[in-house]
Amino acid sequence: MAKKQKTFRPKPRLPKGMRDIRADEISAMNNMLAKLREIYELYGFEALETPAFEYSDCLGKFLPDQDRPNAGVFSFEEDEDGHWVSLRYDLTAPLARFVAANYDQLPKPFRRYQTGSVWRNEKPGPGRFRQFTQFDADSVGADSIAADAELAMLGADSLEHLGLKRGDYQITMNNRKLLDGVLMSAGIDPTAQENAQERLTVLRAIDKLDRLGQDGVKDLLGGGRKDSSGDFTKGANLTPDQIDKILAYLATGAQERGDVIGQLEPLVTGSQIGQEGLNELVQIDDLLNAGAFKSDRVCFDPTIVRGLDYYTGPVMEAELTFETTNEKGETVRFGSLGGGGRYDGLVARFRGQDVPATGFSIGVSRVYSALQSLNKLEYDKTKAPVVVLVMDQEHKGTSQAMVQQLRNAGVKSELYLGTSGMRAQLKYADKRAASLVVIQGEDERTNDQVTIKDLDKGAQLSKEIEDNKEWRQGRAAQQTVKSDELVATVKTMLAAQETDGQA
């Protein structure tokens, strides 16, 4: 007798670092994105969309996680012509490709904003996903340092428009040229090709200061570091004197922007590129002061370098400064939720000449988590539909007609599509978080009436009501009206719920 072949059933599992997003979070996210659009458009940026994946050679290799096989990106080979394509790892590299392809037709500067998913082939961890949403603003073709100052102002205004108050966040700025000046003074020419990897390793080491502390950065500037999992990261192999000069640079900092400038000045003396970076910070400080953006909103911090390799001048990060408690009861600080900077050489990869550009990006998921911890998320007040129950399958058409009346009046509503009885239908409405249910049983139909039930306490009701008799006896929080009064009564009850929710 032949052995019965076992049916293969795949496990319903997610790839590592991925997650499903449900309705409540999508609702809050949509409200966040709408608020960000308001600010970005207020600043004069216009919308753009680019594809989810690009030719790999167009994206380039700029990611911090260079030790992984795919250099931090998800890639696959096209069947048709053998070219490799990659899921975008940010929204900036695709923008550079778009600008290069449409350069002559675009106004300069070209000011665009974009939101969408990006993907990183990096090691996932708590709160660190391989797919996440960014919201970017960029000015391409703007060589004025005013464009960088403007993006810092945009970041501050955006976070406050989302509900964060001053003191809960800070935009921190620095200039890559300052660090290059320090490297020059340490005997490392950052412009020399043979030092490119060394410079990049230094940048990425500094970028991990808030996570690893000074000792961890010192290890990465030297021979390397092994983390708690046993993974080893190669270091820059700098000498002790070179490491000391960089650590001295990182030790500078103060609350007021003018004080930071004063501390940095002696560290870049004799370096042309370092002095250039300092002068740009002075200009940014003047513009921020003119816009009434004080140091409590935008400050200078020499430890901000950003991990991506394509930045060429001013860089910035948006940081949350408050502490909260995680699910384990531990006190944690959110830290960075976005950033950006100047990347004058990115478009040049396509055109062979530098095109000045600067940009700022907000990590939407990070902001969501922050607002959630502060109970400041805003959901769509009408996210749950009114559910019209079906008490008699023979009269389902009548129930469908009621649904259509509500929809025609702009009321979100749905017909119960199952075949279960009263209790199951109420449980369904409760799981849908329905605000109201509409019912027309035999008695209501005989009298040309409908009953509208407020389900704010739906969970309790769904456990207790067993049949139609109990429904009729439970008159609290329900109204029975003529059928032609359905729409008006539903709107009145929904308005009352909204008022109660705001009280």
What is the mean predicted confidence (pLDDT) over 149-160? 97
In one letter, which amino acid is 316?
M
Domain residue spans of the chain: 23-373, 386-502
Residue ranges of the alpha helices (H) in 68-224? 92-101, 146-161, 176-185, 196-207, 209-221
The CATH code that applies to domain 386-502 is 3.40.50.800
pLDDT in tens, 386-432: 999 999 888 899 999 999 999 999 999 999 998 898 889 989 998 88
Report residue 146's pLDDT band, with 50, 70 and 90 as the boundaries: very high
Alpha-carbon Rg for the chain, nearest whole angstrom, is: 29
Check pLDDT > 50 for residue 459. no
Residue whose entry in the numeric block shows the structure tokens 């002790």 = 240
Check pLDDT > 90 for residue 285. yes
What is the mean predicted confidence (pLDDT) over 298-309? 83
What are the phi and psi torsion angles at 360 (to 5°)? -140, 140
Pairwise CA distance, residues 147 & 87, whole Å? 29
What is the mean predicted confidence (pLDDT) over 281-299? 96
**Predicted local confidence at residue 69, as pLDDT:** 39
Share of the chain above pLDDT 70, in %: 89
Report residue 240's pLDDT band, with 50, 70 and 90 as the boundaries: confident
pLDDT in tens, 9-47: 889 999 988 999 888 889 899 999 999 999 999 999 999
Contact 54, 92 (CB under 8 A): no
Higher pLDDT, 62 or 356: 356
**Predicted local confidence at residue 67, as pLDDT:** 44
CATH homologous superfamily of 23-373 equals Bira Bifunctional Protein; Domain 2 (3.30.930.10)
Helix (H, G, I), strand (E, B) or coil at 314: strand
How would you class 412 by CB atoms within 10 Å of its CB: exposed for 0-12, middle for 13-18, buried for 19 or more?
A: middle
Check pLDDT > 70 for residue 466. no
Report residue 467's pLDDT band, with 50, 70 and 90 as the boundaries: low
What is the mean predicted confidence (pLDDT) over 86-93? 91
**Predicted local confidence at residue 71, as pLDDT:** 60
